[in-house]
């Protein structure tokens, strides 16, 4: 009975002190009834097998125990939390029913594969860390955000504390370019973005992805998301395509509309282009463009195409060297934030 009361209190139900220690008084009964109501159980105030089971399930929080597909299916609020996080990140885990079934297992493996976490289908320490690190859905209150913005002005140069929106191109129904083996631009750029996100997190920046691995929001919603996030910069990642398979090389784009160009954008584009050339890419230069993702974002924004998906040799190399590429991009962003124009 005392265990029952402890569990109820942990869930936020109030029980009067005189009943502590196991007396089944009116507030304990009320707590049980409220819990039953919330859990969709028969509201009889009696702790039978179903109510006790539901109470145990509600007591789990994510990280308390390893989660995996098992028979019978694991149930609990930790599973529900996992499902809602996976869904928020764009990995379709189905409805938040708190049951670790086949859909949740598939979504988890998809997440692990895309984030280069050991694809073991188990929510252990490594997967929890990866979930934590990719805070793709962030809803700070306006007040908090303004304070943060003030704080950022006083930030030392470097990546720490910077908000960086990473925008993997295409996605959903739009695969972008496709190589001879059926690999898509959408998939490749998502993986690169996720890798870059983890590297940036390692430098204590706040990376945010504008989409999950399977969805393809409209460019304007991506720009709005980055604006609301208060990003310090946005990097949109694509691959180039050309009917001629020998077309090769890296190009980077910053905002330019008519005679107006973004100066920080151009600076960032140059740093990225430099890093890509150093990494062995052929130089297709930086260019001013009025692409919507560059035009509709309020922060310095750059779109990079590290190479051509239509060039089999170049793309094979890009696939093989994705880790190096992510590091080169991270270093270019780092250099950008080390630059202090007025000092
Ligand atoms: Zn593209």
d(CA 253, CA 265): 8
Per-residue model confidence (pLDDT) at position 72 = 85
- Count how many residues are written for the chain: 343
Do 54 and 88 belong together in one domain? no
Q: How far is the CA of 176 from the centre of ligand 1 (A)?
A: 5
Q: List strand residue ranges (DSSP E) for the chain, in order.
A: 163-168, 206-209, 233-237, 250-257, 260-261, 283-289, 301-305
**Mutual angle of helices 125-133 and 185-202, in 10-degree steps:** 90
Q: How far is the CA of 95 from the centre of ligand 1 (A)?
A: 32
Which residues are near ligand 1, the ion (C-beta closer than 5 Å)? 169, 176, 238
Q: How far is the CA of 156 from the centre of ligand 1 (A)?
A: 34
Do 125 and 237 belong together in one domain? no
Do 308 and 334 belong together in one domain? yes
Do 159 and 247 belong together in one domain? yes
**pLDDT tens series, the chain, 343 aa:** 778 888 888 888 888 888 887 778 888 888 898 888 877 788 888 888 888 888 888 888 888 888 999 888 888 888 988 887 787 676 777 777 788 988 899 889 888 887 777 888 899 888 888 877 665 433 333 333 333 334 444 457 889 889 999 999 999 999 999 998 999 999 999 999 999 998 998 888 889 999 988 889 999 999 999 988 889 999 999 999 999 999 999 999 998 887 778 888 999 999 999 999 999 999 999 999 989 999 899 889 999 999 999 999 999 999 999 999 999 999 999 999 986 555 4
**Mutual angle of helices 77-88 and 102-114, in 10-degree steps:** 50
- Is 142 within a domain? no
At 293, is the secondary structure helix, strand, or coil?
helix
- Is 153 within a domain? yes
Do 319 and 206 belong together in one domain? yes
Domain limit, last residue, from 103, 133, 163: 133
Q: How far is the CA of 175 from the centre of ligand 1 (A)?
A: 9
User: Residue 236's closest CA among 185, 282, 279?
Assistant: 185
Q: How far is the CA of 239 from the centre of ligand 1 (A)?
A: 5
The number of folded domains in the chain is 3
Encode burial over 228-255: b for 16+ CB neighbours within 10 A, e otherwise: ebbbbbbbbbbbbbeeeeebbbbbbbbb
Do 33 and 83 belong together in one domain? no
- Is 67 within a domain? no
Q: How far is the CA of 108 from the centre of ligand 1 (A)?
A: 27
Do 47 and 93 belong together in one domain? no
Q: How far is the CA of 249 from the centre of ligand 1 (A)?
A: 15
- Is 65 within a domain? no
Domain that holds residue 118: 77-133
Q: How far is the CA of 334 from the centre of ligand 1 (A)?
A: 25
Do 169 and 121 belong together in one domain? no
Sign of CA dihedral 268, 270, 273, 279: negative
Q: How far is the CA of 169 from the centre of ligand 1 (A)?
A: 6
- pTM of the entire predicted model: 0.61
Q: How far is the CA of 251 from the centre of ligand 1 (A)?
A: 12
Do 328 and 189 belong together in one domain? yes
Q: How far is the CA of 258 from the centre of ligand 1 (A)?
A: 23
Q: How far is the CA of 303 from the centre of ligand 1 (A)?
A: 10
Per-residue model confidence (pLDDT) at position 133 = 66
- Is 277 within a domain? yes
Which domain CATH number covers 29? 1.10.101.10
Do 188 and 264 belong together in one domain? yes
Q: How far is the CA of 286 from the centre of ligand 1 (A)?
A: 16
- Is 84 within a domain? yes
Do 127 and 257 belong together in one domain? no
Per-residue model confidence (pLDDT) at position 284 = 95
Q: How far is the CA of 271 from the centre of ligand 1 (A)?
A: 21
- Is 157 within a domain? yes
Do 109 and 26 belong together in one domain? no
């Amino acid at each position: 009975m005392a265990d029952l009361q402890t569990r109820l209190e942990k869930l936020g139900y109030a029980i009067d002190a005189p009943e502590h220690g196991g007396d089944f008084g009116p507030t304990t009964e009320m707590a049980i009834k409220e819990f039953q109501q919330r859990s969709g159980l028969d509201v009889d105030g009696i702790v039978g097998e179903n109510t006790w089971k539901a109470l145990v399930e509600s007591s789990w929080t994510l990280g308390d125990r390893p989660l995996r597909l098992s028979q019978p299916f694991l149930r609990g609020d930790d599973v529900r939390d996992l499902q809602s996080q996976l869904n928020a990140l764009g990995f379709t885990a189905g409805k938040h029913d708190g049951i670790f079934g086949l859909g949740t297992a598939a979504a988890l493996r998809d997440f692990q594969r895309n984030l280069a976490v050991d694809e073991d289908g188990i929510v252990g320490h490594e997967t929890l860390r990866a979930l934590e690190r990719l805070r793709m859905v962030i809803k700070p209150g306006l007040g908090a955000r303004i304070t943060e913005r003030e704080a950022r002005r006083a930030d030392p140069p470097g990546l720490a504390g910077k908000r960086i929106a990473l925008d993997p191109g295409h996605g959903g129904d739009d695969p972008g370019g496709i190589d001879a083996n059926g690999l898509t631009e959408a998939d490749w750029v998502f993986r690169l973005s996720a890798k870059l996100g983890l590297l940036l997190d390692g430098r204590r920046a706040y990376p945010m992805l504008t989409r999950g691995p399977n969805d393809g929001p409209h460019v304007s919603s991506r720009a709005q998301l980055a604006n609301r996030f208060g990003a310090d910069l946005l990097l949109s990642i694509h691959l180039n395509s050309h009917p001629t398979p020998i077309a090769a090389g890296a190009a980077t784009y910053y905002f330019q509309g008519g005679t107006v160009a973004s100066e920080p954008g151009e600076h960032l584009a140059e740093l990225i282009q430099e890093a890509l050339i150093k990494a062995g890419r052929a130089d297709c230069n930086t260019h001013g463009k009025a692409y919507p993702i560059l035009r509709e974002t309020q922060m310095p924004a750059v779109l990079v195409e590290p190479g051509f998906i239509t060039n089999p040799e170049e793309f094979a190399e890009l696939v093989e060297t994705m880790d190096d590429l992510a590091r080169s991009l991270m270093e270019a962003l780092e250099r950008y934030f080390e630059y202090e124009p007025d000092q």
